[in-house]
Structure 1
């Protein structure tokens, strides 16, 4: 054991554990297993087998019974049923009718349609998978560069991390013990800002290189008008969820259940079969189990960090740095950008927040604001190589578009994300305005 080698200091044990975890992740071990194994070994080293087994034994039950987590399967189910009910295609069709005439109009329509679907989905990878089937064939049919077509779908899917209902915002709220409702509301305006910046950069790029993103024939006003009624169920779900949380007459879980009930009723009315409903339930269960398993594994590692004292030491070190808090914040975000190249978004937040969050609070930053900023960083990580989960999803659905082309296609949107981060750092009111209204 480490004690026999002279490593009796808990901080040193914690540092070795962090290094071992990073090594395992680099070697390709899944975060859930790497975190659980390192956490177990670290706890055994610090407190012994018996106490370590006791700590680890209560983790699954303790984390599974958190009421706020029950919102996750609701949000995920909404997204899968909406897809099977044809709402996704109708969103894209309406956006195409209204915006296709713009330079790069089909790509702009894809961004706004993914934003709309994000408002009923909450799952980034699901959004990318759905629009890989719906939007990419249409863009390629009109002569779009396949890299741009793939990139806009991969990047558009990331909007689901900010626009409520967002699964990752719920997880952040649980980790830092913040209000789920306030965080979901806080993501609404930044999500819209992010979508608008995506759209703007597409238009500018299409004006520079029109052959990469040609405009499509404009639709008549009659065609545009007829594209709107099918969107009523989606608008109803979004309105119910947002207003229920904002007005306080339902918890986020209850609002998610209402939204799921509305989407389910619409699906039945539209004749969605038992097979599709069963598939939606199975996919929702699989994704929910994956998220819960990740939470369990990482929580074991977090317990180990708590016994080692790493979080407290890191906080003391951050506060002692002789630099403006915003400079320190930018350095933290750069560290997230690097870490996100090698870890998935949820795992990254689960592992880092127990250490980073106390330090950020000690610097005087707002908890809600930091949550949106760090989730936006996690959003960037969903499209950056080598992990870039959304890019892998697009490639899996469209194997005719090579993975390197997908990664090249997201470069425009990486620039847009950097611009969005700068905007949110410069104008924190974009994040805090809606939650403050709720509190008041």
Structure 2
């Protein structure tokens, strides 16, 4: 059995290296593994059909496209810009306020988008021109945009947390709540870093006078209504979820309706709504296909007795929990340079989660640790997806990828520090779920 699983995993790695789509590689290798174990192709086809049917009809899977749609409506309606400008206006007294506003704007936008790439694209167009206008140091500006975009995958509702919950059969609500405190700690570290850079080198973030950000009464009302609208939407969705009023799927549906109301108030027309729905579908469809393939892959691992074998291997090897977690961390960081976050979770969690459980790590703390490390991989060269997104979205052709990668290095370090803190102090991830649930 184990030999069949190892051969299937080898085939999957080969297919991915050859450029095959992750979902295809996962699905074909899982089918091969089941065939080698059962020696009956009819069983393979029956398992594939059963897995696909279970995945498609599962009520919880609607969470992913709905939260993506909510974030897309908020982004297209211009509400993200209102949030940024409102934060900017409230922090006029703070050194490096534009960079800090970018971090806070990303944190708030994370609570409605759940996707780091969406945050990076939005704030590249909103925040960078503003910082460039006031002659901010370019590395400080680029770092605050790209670095803080990773908050979108930690602060709920996060697509990665949903996928992790589906793969490990954990509570989506509990994982959402577990990400709040580490997300706020990380956002505070980002803000503190921007302020310290501005204090140490004032020329990097020139002060802006109050009269330079003055706006007309109409603009002020627009910013205030947009910012308050987003806060109310976030409070409604997450408050209802944590308070037990909604299931995750119901919370996502109500979030879409709330975002749609805000978008219509802000002037969205039928073509804009259509484009938001189309884009959400285009984003969600590959994720859903990946989930079907990953569930087949997980069933193949279970049929092959991988978990008991892992338990025996970990016990026999006498690896310390530190070395085990260090090895997982290394795999995630390397994969993050080449593979998207959802695929990393689907490829590794069926193996890593049981190993972490055997080693005695808390499931919630390990999940948040994993999300943080995987997100750090999205910033690392040579193929950090977020950095490429910022490069493509920033309206300044003179910005280079090398500048962006250099600018995010301190943010990668801060993400890894918070990840380590979650492992050392699991209460950062477990305290709030224990209170809320």
* TM-score > 0.5, shorter chain as reference: yes
Aligned residue runs from structure 1 range 299-378, under 5 A: 299-378=295-374
Partner of 2:58: 66
Partner of 1:3: none
The CA deviation string for residues 242-283 of structure 1, in whole angstroms up to 9 with x for no partner, is 211111111111112112111111211222111111111111
1:406 equivalent in alignment to 2:404: yes
Q: What is the Cα deviation at residue 16 of structure 1?
A: 3.1
Q: How many angstroms apart in 2 are the aligned matches of 1:241 and 1:234?
A: 11
The answer as to whether partners of 1:233 and 1:262 remain within 8 angstroms in 2 is no
Q: What is the Cα deviation at residue 377 of structure 1?
A: 1.5
Q: What is the Cα deviation at residue 431 of structure 1?
A: 0.9
Report the TM-score, using the length of structure 1 for normalisation: 0.91
Partner of 2:30: 39
Secondary structure in structure 2 of the residue aligned to 1:58 = helix
Partner of 1:12: 3
Q: What is the Cα deviation at residue 174 of structure 1?
A: 1.1
For this pair of structures, how many residues does the alignment match? 430
Q: What is the Cα deviation at residue 24 of structure 1?
A: 3.3
Q: How many angstroms apart in 2 are the aligned matches of 1:225 and 1:136?
A: 21
Distance 1:84 1:339, change over 3 A: closer
Partner of 1:151: 143
Partner of 2:158: 166
Secondary structure in structure 1 of the residue aligned to 2:430 = helix
Aligned residue runs from structure 1 range 265-284, under 5 A: 265-284=261-280
Q: How many angstroms apart in 2 are the aligned matches of 1:423 and 1:41?
A: 40
Q: What is the Cα deviation at residue 162 of structure 1?
A: 1.0
Q: What is the Cα deviation at residue 58 of structure 1?
A: 2.3
Q: How many angstroms apart in 1 are the aligned matches of 2:20 and 2:48?
A: 20
The CA deviation string for residues 17-51 of structure 1, in whole angstroms up to 9 with x for no partner, is 32333343334332122222222233322323221
1:234 equivalent in alignment to 2:234: no
The CA deviation string for residues 177-222 of structure 1, in whole angstroms up to 9 with x for no partner, is 1111111111111111111111112222333444444343346999
Q: What is the Cα deviation at residue 326 of structure 1?
A: 4.3
Identify the range of structure 1 (329-338 vs 429-438) with the bigger mean alpha-carbon deviation. Answer: 329-338
Report the TM-score, using the length of structure 2 for normalisation: 0.91
Q: How many angstroms apart in 2 are the aligned matches of 1:298 and 1:108?
A: 39
The answer as to whether partners of 1:63 and 1:296 remain within 8 angstroms in 2 is yes
Partner of 2:291: 295
Q: How many angstroms apart in 1 are the aligned matches of 2:128 and 2:410?
A: 17
1:431 equivalent in alignment to 2:423: no
Q: How many angstroms apart in 2 are the aligned matches of 1:146 and 1:54?
A: 56
The answer as to whether partners of 2:12 and 2:25 remain within 8 angstroms in 1 is yes
The CA deviation string for residues 362-401 of structure 1, in whole angstroms up to 9 with x for no partner, is 2222211211111111211221223322112112223722
Partner of 2:199: 207
Q: What is the Cα deviation at residue 236 of structure 1?
A: 0.8
Superposition CA RMSD, Å: 2.3
Partner of 1:7: none
Alignment partner of 1:130 out of 122, 134, 137: 122
1:192 equivalent in alignment to 2:184: yes
Partner of 2:15: 24
